[in-house]
Amino acid sequence: MTDIKKRIAISKFWNNSFWVAGLLSTFAGLVLLFALFTDLFLDGAPRISYKFFTSFPSRFPEEAGILSAWIGTTLVMLVTAMAAIPLGIAAGIYLEEYARKNWITNIIEINITNLAGVPSIIYGLLALGLFVYFFEFGESILTGGLALALLILPMVIMATREAIRAIPNSIREASFALGATKWQTIKDHIIPYSTGGILTGIIIGLSRAIGETAPIITVGALTFIAFLPTSPVSAEFPFVSFKWLFDPFTVMPIQMFNWVSRPQKEFHINAAAAGIELLAMTLLMIGIAIYIRYNFRKKIKW
């Protein structure tokens, strides 16, 4: 009798110990993350000022800023969004609404899963060979934006498919019963109802693209840019110019990488400040995505 009580006690002891270990493991990463953010914030926050946003990089750490970096990031993201969003949504719609169960569909599906697991730097090599030298876009904003678009394409496709899959079949059947064609059904029902999910996926994808450094370095973005791309709008005819697409550029993560890699302590402070901006942008985008998902979920009830 005492023997079995002892065994039960031992089992309970291990069970409770594991409960503690689980709690610690779950929070270990979060605690460390919090420590790192605090460290980053303490180092970089004093450096953030209006001047930091409006100055070019410089040899002198206290004069350096991130003007060319954040403008570069904005323009690159514009290209990425323009390329990845329509292509990703169209592919997602095809796979959910049109695709028949055959070997082509199967290949496309396996392929998308596999693409999501390809390291980002491989996309950089692809863009280097394809866009920089084969299509001769050069080491430009267009090349950088397209490289990141290819990178987030699988994410956009998967988000679109998931959002569409959540729509019950009764909606489609009701639309067909009223004589609508397939495209009319998709345009008037499927796309509007899945907008929330698709938008969430797109923003999460862009939030990943904004912090990506490796593919942008590979396509040859410069680390030191003391000028701005050609303005997309001008006062003279034809008012809109696309020359900026082919200008050399830098982006926020590369600027940060450049500053981290320097030996001087003062540049590390700049890196921390750039890191705070980068982190703030990423978290803001994720916040928006969560907000959209939450709101659309509340609105739509089947």
| Contacts to another protein from residues 99-118, by CB under 8 A | 99, 107-108, 110-115, 117-118
Report the SS3 class of residue 30: helix
Coil, strand or helix: which one is 300?
A: coil
Residue 66 interacting with another protein (CB under 8 A) = no
Report how far Cα 281 is from the mean position of its chain's Cα atoms: 11
Residue 129 binds to another protein (criterion: CB under 8 A)? yes
Query: Distances in Å between the alpha carbon of 204 and those of 79, 133, 163, 210, 268?
Result: 16, 30, 14, 10, 28
CA distance 158 to 198: 9
Token representation of residue 199: 């938008």
Residue 124 has phi, psi (to 5 degrees) of: -65, -45
232 or 246, CB closer to another protein? 246
Near another protein in 3-42, by CB under 8 A: 11-12, 14-15, 18-19, 21-23, 25-26, 28-30, 32-33, 36, 39-40
Site string for another protein, 148-187 (x = CB under 8 A): --x--xx--x-----------------------xxx----
Task: Choose, by CB under 8 A, the member of 190, 256, 273, 292 that binds another protein.
Answer: 256
231, 244 Cβ separation under 8 angstroms: yes
Eight-state DSSP code of residue 113? H
Residue 246 lies near another protein (rule: CB under 8 A):
no
- How far apart are the C-alpha atoms of 114 and 76, rounded to whole Å? 25
Cβ proximity to another protein: between 232 and 257 the closer is: 257
Nearest approach, Cβ of residue 302 and another protein (Å): 22
By CB under 8 A, residue 138 contacts another protein? no
Nearer to another protein, 227 or 294 (CB): 294
Least separation in angstroms between CB 77 and another protein = 13
